[in-house]
Structure 1
């Protein structure tokens, strides 16, 4: 049985709840020496096309640290700016209105938006592993997606990455919505799980799972499939911007990858730089330690299993994702995205 409530739009970063106390973005100086030439070239390239704004799809959070690090280290040109979205901002609105030239968002959501009429292009990768997963109490008998049969699962809403992940979990286990109770719980995963209102929740391995543990409840994460065809956080632009500012975008994508690499290598430096953006971390060692834990977990998503370069994105993976989204009726009806059109890697 499925309980239908208000639908909450969600993205991997844009609509995710911040961790307790708020965790800001971070930066570090690891690339300063090696990136001076890159910064100089970026300055020349970007100056030719004007300012270039990168949209970060929520308020400051350590999960955005790779981009803060690239900015702090001078890897980005001086006229490259970072812009945080508010809770009510649309994921791609500022990009499509020309206020931003690049946005950090899920590739899956970019493809869905394209199917609904947007003209978006994925030009770089970020997460090599998908962040959305099932979260259950440590003592739960649920060990795999098949164990969801007859159980109640809480989800933030019926859009976005957690919804796609739940669809994949059910597909993996050959379950339909009639086999379980899906409860729309908004962003109250912790309260719903701890209070016993649901048997499992869909959330993020580098956010919700950590937050629940930090609040004192032992939990486990369960992958929604052995092979996940969904692609999470990536670098997204518009077709018109790609056509008019391809060189500028390529330079920024490559600089962002340097930031990702530094972030994975040095979470401590990430936390230190976070203090420039979140005053609480300067005086609260507990919050700083929690921020580091999120940085480490996020770094694992950025690096993946090591089989692909940091920052890469692959047209074949986007094709597999489109096939999954199509087969599960998750795409809009205005346009059928083609992988080679919606994914143009600029750093490969």
Structure 2
């Protein structure tokens, strides 16, 4: 199972990035656009609003980029970025550290989700309000790897629990059905998603957020050491365009939602109140100070939880895994 986790992966050489020459955030108007295929790891969704905003408002094109989003679950994005077959992907912190442990020179260069978006949801009547309350409970998790599993284990640790203190049931991505039907006592969820669906169906919930107990590194933009060394301007322009999309989405969520309708199939027929709530909840995770910058302690915490789980053999040089060198501070 560890191999499966390790090969689902995705970071940076701080020294290389710090030495990278400064470059303008936008490309010359006459420059031919560079085609970028960007894996995002999920289906079209309002949670990707900043990307849609950056595409719709031309921020990527201003940066000399022609971005196409890759929603395929089969894309092993971290491995492709590490092999320099793709220059960028969206990935979370554990993927970066696990990737580097496998000699994949991936680097995390822009923090999109300043907080780890995983948590555990339960019906209010179950009385599960803190990690300690999970003892003896049956918990449904979509998979036994990736961000969901990392976030779950972090919450167990916060409650002083081991995995043997709970009954774990692998339920696939059917958390809403599993919880509402009573199949399990609680489910591992993506905070901006399943709790909104359940609340929209009238269920009263308790949600325990991993981020409230242990700051970890959420989704962000990754590249590789070769791209940083040979084309730091490309990295800066890509991160800059994403940053503009995030800033605009935070500034005007309603306008961002309207843009999403052009990119998310059937969004116009969906429950607008529920979908806007998904976006609103997502916005809470986009906030970083300054915008887009990593927090060193979150990287330390991420490494420690992976060491505790036995997924890393030893400490890594975290300064090589991430950098804020390509992030422009916004006022």
How high is the TM-score relative to the length of structure 2?
0.84
Change in Cα spacing, 1:188 to 1:66, as seen in structure 2 (3 Å) is: same
Q: What does 1:127-138 correspond to in 2, within 5 Å?
A: 127-138=113-124
Which segment is superposed worse, 240-249 or 208-217?
208-217
- Flag structure 2 segments of 5+ consecutive residues without an equivalent: 10-23
Which of the residues 321, 324, 339 maps onto 2:302? 321
2:286 maps to 1:302: yes
- Flag structure 1 segments of 5+ consecutive residues without an equivalent: 13-39
How far residue 51 of structure 1 moved from its aligned partner, in angstroms, is 3.3
How far residue 130 of structure 1 moved from its aligned partner, in angstroms, is 1.5
Q: What does 1:230-241 correspond to in 2, within 5 Å?
A: 230-241=216-227
How far residue 92 of structure 1 moved from its aligned partner, in angstroms, is 2.0
How far residue 236 of structure 1 moved from its aligned partner, in angstroms, is 0.5
Contact 1:189 1:208 in 2 (8 A): yes
Alpha-carbon distance in structure 1 between the residues aligned to 2:104 and 2:315 = 11
Change in Cα spacing, 1:48 to 1:274, as seen in structure 2 (3 Å) is: closer
Alpha-carbon distance in structure 2 between the residues aligned to 1:163 and 1:93 = 20
Q: Partner of 2:59: helix, strand, or coil?
A: coil
- Alpha-carbon RMSD across the aligned residues, in angstroms, is 2.8
Partner of 1:339: 318
2:94 maps to 1:113: no
Partner of 1:66: 50
Which of the residues 63, 69, 72 maps onto 1:86? 72
Alpha-carbon distance in structure 2 between the residues aligned to 1:125 and 1:204 = 17
Partner of 1:17: none
Partner of 2:187: 201
How far residue 159 of structure 1 moved from its aligned partner, in angstroms, is 0.6
Contact 2:134 2:166 in 1 (8 A): yes
Change in Cα spacing, 1:47 to 1:92, as seen in structure 2 (3 Å) is: farther
Contact 1:8 1:157 in 2 (8 A): no
Contact 2:37 2:68 in 1 (8 A): yes
Contact 1:11 1:109 in 2 (8 A): yes
Partner of 2:202: 216
Alpha-carbon distance in structure 2 between the residues aligned to 1:11 and 1:293 = 30
Contact 1:47 1:79 in 2 (8 A): no
Alpha-carbon distance in structure 1 between the residues aligned to 2:184 and 2:84 = 42
Aligned length: 309
Change in Cα spacing, 1:107 to 1:47, as seen in structure 2 (3 Å) is: farther
Change in Cα spacing, 1:114 to 1:47, as seen in structure 2 (3 Å) is: farther
2:40 maps to 1:56: yes
Contact 1:58 1:87 in 2 (8 A): yes
CA deviation digits over 1:115-153, x for unaligned, max 9? 233221001111112210110102221111001111111
Contact 1:152 1:198 in 2 (8 A): yes
Q: Partner of 2:91: helix, strand, or coil?
A: strand
